[in-house]
Amino acid sequence: MSESVAVQQNGSAPAKAYARRAISPPVDVFENADEVLVVADVPGVPNEAIDVRVENGVLTIEARRASEPAAPALAREYDEVDYSRTFRVPTGIDAANISAEAKNGTLLVHLPKVAAAKPQKIAVRPA
């Protein structure tokens, strides 16, 4: 299957292909006894271009993928893109200890629960 690509004289794709767009990254949210885990796809974004913050009970994830201007492109499908997603932080989260890590285009945001929000085992004594 062949695809037709409009090419400008300088060899790059048309300017409209380079328009920056904003999207909400796909996200999965998991919960266990110790934390709430937010997993977001941010492909092609270096760690220094990811901003994770909590303010007034809202978790905000923002990331920016820039295009590589190193060489003119004959075709380009990986546009510059801004990722943005917000979540209300559930009660019982220790906001001071929220952490994030990114690897291979996947961002993991760990929202640890405060001790009072974690399940507690209650011992049953004989009567």
> What is the per-residue pLDDT across 50-100, written as a single tens digit (0 to 9) for each?
999 999 999 999 999 887 666 677 777 777 889 999 999 989 999 999 999
Nearest to 65 by CA among 86, 89, 88, 41: 41
Q: Give the rounded percent of residues in the chain with a pLDDT score beyond 70.
A: 81
User: Do 57 and 78 form a contact (C-beta atoms < 8 A)?
Assistant: no
- Topology of the domain comprising 15-115: Immunoglobulin-like (2.60.40)
> In the predicted model, what is the mean pLDDT of residues 26-37?
95
- C-alpha 25/C-alpha 49 separation (Å) is 14
Q: Does the pTM exceed 0.95?
A: no
Which backbone phi and psi does 35 adopt, to 5 degrees? Answer: -160, 170
Q: For residue 4, what pLDDT is reported?
A: 40
Whether 1 has a pLDDT exceeding 90, the answer reads: no
Going by the DSSP 8-state scheme, the letter that residue 75 receives in this structure is -
